[in-house]
Amino acid sequence: MTEFGTPDVVHTGEVDEPIVGPDSVLIDVAAASVNPVDWKIVGGNLQGAFPHHLPLVPGWDVAGTVLAVGPAVREVAVGDRVAAYDREDHVQHGTFAERTAVPVRAVARVPDGLELVQAAALPLAGLTAEQLLDAATVRAGDTVLVHSATGGVGSFATQLAQHRGARVIGTASEANHDVLRAWGAQPVTYGDGLVDRVRALAPSGVDAVIDLIGGDALAATPQLLAEGGRLAAVTDPEVVAQVGGTYVFVRPDADMLGRLLTRVADGSLLVDIAETFPLDRAGEALARSAEGHVRGKVVVTV
Ligand SMILES: NC(=O)c1ccc[n+]([C@@H]2O[C@H](COP(=O)([O-])OP(=O)(O)OC[C@H]3O[C@@H](n4cnc5c(N)ncnc54)[C@H](OP(=O)(O)O)[C@@H]3O)[C@@H](O)[C@H]2O)c1
């Protein structure tokens, strides 16, 4: 993209070859998943958080094959299949590209047999889910409320909370209730009356709230939590602090990503892919995500 705007400002074109730093990995991109942060970046909404430089290639998630490594890289080698959540401290050289260079600290190996499209759908959303559950100290025996349980992050949080031995109540529209049940969670419809619906399932409140929505859902937290309950949220940091929660901004973590990829490969963590788009339709992929009702993940394939 050469300007900020709606997803249709994203187009294919030639950019310089990525620079492979001493501890970076050049990846031949097979797939890159879409996260809401990507269309927020395209819209210019993150310019207060990170320096941005145009022309800009969006995309923070990637899976592919290592083409080259910097001289200080020992963790992976040319030919390895890898995935990464490539969030750096400035925004320009993203993953919706044929090749991308990623700091090795963000890179994990993809287990044999796991498709790169599946691996690409995991990093940002899977890491966010795990880091939120850590922040809310979710453990066996807890009842956890996940707001937006069928989206990219929510689909992983719902499953990973149950891996820890927690019971999950998840919010979704009615169209998604059956899938939430299939994932082992108890669905509730979001919107007016949410507190009563959750209280009907958890009369003394829930032990933890994972908030991916903000607004009224976040504001309702004090009415939803049991005594001593914990909130972890990715939404408005000030409001999160006011209601006594922990704000999470997902960090790259190669070891955690490696563990999550292993779970996907062994079938214990399901990756739900709503739709894939070829690279030259990345703008449409971003627009699909921006509608706000994707179940699971949208992936760009190269
Ligand atoms: N701070 C961070 O580190 C961080 C990291 C990751 C994500 N995020 C943010 O977290 C949010 C969620 O990310 P995501 O990737 O999970 O998004 P997503 O995949 O686009 O979420 C789509 C899901 O949201 C559900 N939904 C829409 N409106 C809802 C509502 N009012 N209440 C409950 N669910 C609702 C939809 O379900 P229905 O179709 O049933 O409506 C759909 O399944 C985004 O704003 C993203 O930017 C922040």
Q: What's the CA-to-centroid distance between 27 and ligand 1, angstroms?
A: 28
> What pLDDT sits at residue 288?
98
Give the mutation target among 153, 158, 298 for probing the ligand 1 site: most ligand atoms within 8 A of CB: 153
Give the H/E segment covering residue 36. Answer: helix 36-42
- In a shared domain, residues 239 and 129: yes
> What pLDDT sits at residue 49?
95
> What pLDDT sits at residue 132?
98
% pLDDT > 70, the chain: 100
CA–CA distances in Å: residue 251 to residues 88, 126, 184, 198, 259: 10, 11, 28, 31, 15
Residue 178 lies inside a defined structural domain of this protein: yes
Residue 129 lies inside a defined structural domain of this protein: yes
According to DSSP, the residues that pair with 169 across neighbouring strands are 145, 186
Q: What is the pLDDT of residues 148-173, one digit of tens each?
A: 999 999 999 999 999 999 999 999 99
Domain that holds residue 106: 7-121+271-301
- In a shared domain, residues 207 and 296: no
- In a shared domain, residues 143 and 237: yes
- In a shared domain, residues 70 and 25: yes
Q: Which residue has the tokens 């080259």?
A: 68
- In a shared domain, residues 15 and 92: yes
Residue 211 lies inside a defined structural domain of this protein: yes
* Whether the Cβ atoms of residue 81 and residue 62 lie closer than 8 Å to each other: no
> What pLDDT sits at residue 215?
96
- In a shared domain, residues 241 and 149: yes
Q: What is the pLDDT of residues 101-128, one digit of tens each?
A: 999 999 999 999 999 999 999 999 999 9
Nearest CA to ligand 1 atom 25: 148
Residue 284 lies inside a defined structural domain of this protein: yes
| Domain end among 232, 247, 262 | 247
83: CATH? 3.90.180.10
- In a shared domain, residues 27 and 74: yes
Query: Which ligand 1 atom sits closest to the C-alpha of 147?
Result: 33
Coil/strand/helix, residue 146: strand
Q: What's the CA-to-centroid distance between 263 and ligand 1, angstroms?
A: 22
- Using 50, 70 and 90 to split pLDDT, how confident is the model at 204? very high
Residue 283 lies inside a defined structural domain of this protein: yes
Neighbour order of strands in the sheet with 225-233 = 186-188, 167-171, 143-146, 206-211, 225-233, 246-247
Query: Which ligand 1 atom sits closest to the C-alpha of 37?
Result: 47
- In a shared domain, residues 295 and 230: no
Average pLDDT estimate for 239-249: 96
Burial of residue 136, with CB atoms counted within 10 A of its CB: 0-12 exposed, 13-18 middle, 19 or more buried: buried
Cis check: omega of the bond before 55, within 30 degrees of 0? yes
User: Kind of pairing, strands 91-93 and 246-247?
Assistant: unpaired
Average pLDDT estimate for 48-68: 98
Single-letter residue type at 14: E
Residue 1 lies inside a defined structural domain of this protein: no
Ligand 1 pocket by C-beta < 6 Å: which residues? 35-37, 125, 128, 147-148, 150-154, 171-173, 176, 190, 212-213, 217, 234, 248-250, 289, 292-295
Q: What's the CA-to-centroid distance between 17 and ligand 1, angstroms?
A: 33
Q: What's the CA-to-centroid distance between 100 and ligand 1, angstroms?
A: 26
Nearest CA to ligand 1 atom 21: 151
Coil/strand/helix, residue 24: strand
> What pLDDT sits at residue 178?
98
- In a shared domain, residues 180 and 280: no
* CB half-sphere exposure, 203, CA atoms < 13 A: 0
* Whether the Cβ atoms of residue 60 and residue 86 lie closer than 8 Å to each other: yes
- In a shared domain, residues 178 and 148: yes
Average pLDDT estimate for 75-86: 98
- In a shared domain, residues 133 and 243: yes
What is the rounded CA–CA span in Å between residue 279 and residue 5?
19
Q: What's the CA-to-centroid distance between 290 and ligand 1, angstroms?
A: 10
pTM over the 0.95 mark: yes
Residue 153 lies inside a defined structural domain of this protein: yes
What total of structural domains would you count in the chain? Answer: 2
Query: Which ligand 1 atom sits closest to the C-alpha of 295?
Result: 43
Average pLDDT estimate for 215-226: 96
- In a shared domain, residues 241 and 157: yes
- On average, the pLDDT of the chain sits at 98
> What pLDDT sits at residue 35?
98
Residue 34 lies inside a defined structural domain of this protein: yes
Q: What's the CA-to-centroid distance between 295 and ligand 1, angstroms?
A: 9
